[in-house]
């Protein structure tokens, strides 16, 4: 009996001990599993932190490469300035000076009749005439306000005309002066502004300071100006549509009649009055920034000239020349030489005749 009790007691003790060991083992396994779960969570958190840090670095790098609104506006201004000053205005107190050099080639062909030495028959001959014009221009502008600019253009003209193979003429003189005013409506003037489009209005005139074609001897002299006073109005527009800048302009010019000339034409007629027709102009194109230092543009320019009326002393009825048009297609490039200096080059080819114009321009801005 005692042995049986001892056996049962020993079995019970052994069972309790075994149960304690199993419980402790389970606790260890649970603790180990908890540690593994915690480590796994820590590893995942660390991985997420690394990925977040990587995304933040990529976002910073992306933002550093993005063009800010200020940089975009400045780049748009540089692209438009490579086209011309008429599309932008300088800030208040800025003195702007542009130097430009243009070369224009305009070939023509004239026909004349000569009597043959061996007979009384007339011989029709063609003479090729090459007109070369170099123009040095100084454009000076001052901005008393942020939206107002006054300007003056002073040209020096050199002309060389060669007729046939032996006859030629040269002339160097002052061209016609062109003062002007450019104005941009403030944002409060909504009736003069188009949403999303920059608009500049201009008003100018041409003063006939050059050699007038109606006051020279055409056999020995060349004109360097138009000879008439001219008033002009225009409006220039631009809109940025990434990655290009669109620009276009409209213009109108009216010339004042020229009276009391007493200009002899071909030793037969006396020209008394000239009334040149009005001029309507249209320009449209696009510019694109290739990099921070270069930009390109292309444009189409169209001018419509109304008929000019000529009044001669010997002819009762005034003579009209008829309407005419001029169309040009041009390509240009802007190169940033220094942060404050740029070089603009353009080549314009006539779509009506076979002439062309090559223009180089260097603008300078000074804060007063």
- What is the reported pLDDT for 121? 42
Backbone angles phi, psi at 220, to 5 degrees: -130, -10
Q: How far apart are CA 297 and CA 83, in angstroms?
A: 7
| The predicted structure's pLDDT at residue 51 | 86
135-166 pLDDT, tens per residue? 999 999 999 998 899 999 999 999 998 776 66
pLDDT of amino acid 150: 95
Q: Which of 319, 313, 365, 306 is nearest to 341 (CA)?
A: 365
pLDDT of residue 71: 64
Give the per-residue SS3 of 278-318: CEEEEEEEEEEECCCCEEEEEEEEEEEECCCEEEECCCCCC
230-241 and 244-255 as β-strands: parallel, antiparallel, unpaired? antiparallel
Contacts of 130 (CB under 8 A, 6+ apart): 105, 107, 161, 162
Looking at residue 210, its pLDDT comes to: 93
Give the start-to-end residue ranges of the domains of the chain.
Answer: 1-66, 71-367
pLDDT for 259 equals 87
**Residues 181, 202: contact at Cβ < 8 Å?**
yes
Q: What is the pLDDT of residue 64?
A: 60
| 171-191 pLDDT tens trace | 999 999 999 999 988 877 777
Residue by residue, pLDDT tens for the chain (368 residues) are 555 555 655 665 566 666 666 677 777 777 777 777 877 888 888 888 888 888 888 777 666 655 566 666 777 778 888 888 888 888 888 999 999 999 999 886 554 444 444 444 444 444 455 688 999 999 999 999 988 999 999 999 999 987 766 678 899 999 999 999 999 888 777 777 888 888 999 999 999 999 998 888 888 888 999 999 999 999 999 998 888 999 999 999 999 998 888 877 777 788 888 999 999 999 999 999 888 888 999 999 999 999 999 888 888 888 888 899 999 999 999 998 887 788 999 999 999 888 899 999 998 888 87
The 3-state DSSP class for residue 33 equals: helix
Q: Enumerate helices (H) and strands (E) in the chain, giving the number of each.
A: 2, 17
- How far apart CA 146 and CA 183 sit, in angstroms, is 9
**Phi, psi angle pair for 130, to nearest 5°:** -110, 120
Q: Which of 263, 261, 234 lies closest to 250 in space, CA to CA? A: 234
Distance in angstroms (rounded) separating the CA atoms of residues 302 and 283 = 6
329: Cβ contacts below 8 Å, ≥ 6 apart: 298, 299, 300, 301, 348, 349, 351
Fold of 71-367: Porin (2.40.160)
Tokens of 131: 């007109």
């Amino acid at each position: 009996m005692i042995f049986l009790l001892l056996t049962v007691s020993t079995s019970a003790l052994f069972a309790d001990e075994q149960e304690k060991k199993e419980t402790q083992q389970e606790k260890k396994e649970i603790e180990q599993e908890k540690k593994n779960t915690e480590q796994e969570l820590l590893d995942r958190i660390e991985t997420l932190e690394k990925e977040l840090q990587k995304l933040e670095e990529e976002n910073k790098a992306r933002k550093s490469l993005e063009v800010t609104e200020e940089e975009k506006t400045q780049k748009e201004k540089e692209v438009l300035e490579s086209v011309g000053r008429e599309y932008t205005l300088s800030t208040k107190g800025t003195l702007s000076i542009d130097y430009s050099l243009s070369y224009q080639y305009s070939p023509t062909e004239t026909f004349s009749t000569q009597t043959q030495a061996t007979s009384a028959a007339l011989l029709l001959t063609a003479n090729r005439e090459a007109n070369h014009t170099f123009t040095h221009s100084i454009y000076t502008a001052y901005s008393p306000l942020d939206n107002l600019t006054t300007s003056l253009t002073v040209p020096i003209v050199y002309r060389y005309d060669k007729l046939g193979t032996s006859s030629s003429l040269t002339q160097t003189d002052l061209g016609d002066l062109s003062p002007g005013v450019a104005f941009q409506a403030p944002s409060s003037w909504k009736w003069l502004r188009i949403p999303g489009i920059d608009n500049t209005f201009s008003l100018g005139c041409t003063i006939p300071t050059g050699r007038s074609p109606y006051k020279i001897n055409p056999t020995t002299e060349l004109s360097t100006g138009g000879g008439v006073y001219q008033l002009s109005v225009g409006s220039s527009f631009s809109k940025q549509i990434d990655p290009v800048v669109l620009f276009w302009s409209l213009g109108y010019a009216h010339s004042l009649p020229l009276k009391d000339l007493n200009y002899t034409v071909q030793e037969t007629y006396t020209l008394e009055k000239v009334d040149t027709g009005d001029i309507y102009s249209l320009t449209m194109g696009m510019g694109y920034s290739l990099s921070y230092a270069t930009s390109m543009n292309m444009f189409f320019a169209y001018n419509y000239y109304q008929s000019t009326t000529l009044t001669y002393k010997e002819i009762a009825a005034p003579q009209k020349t008829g309407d005419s048009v001029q169309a040009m297609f041009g390509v240009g490039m802007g190169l940033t030489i220094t942060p404050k200096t740029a070089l603009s080059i353009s080549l314009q080819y006539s779509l009506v005749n076979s002439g062309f114009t090559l223009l180089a321009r260097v603008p300078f801005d000074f804060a007063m």
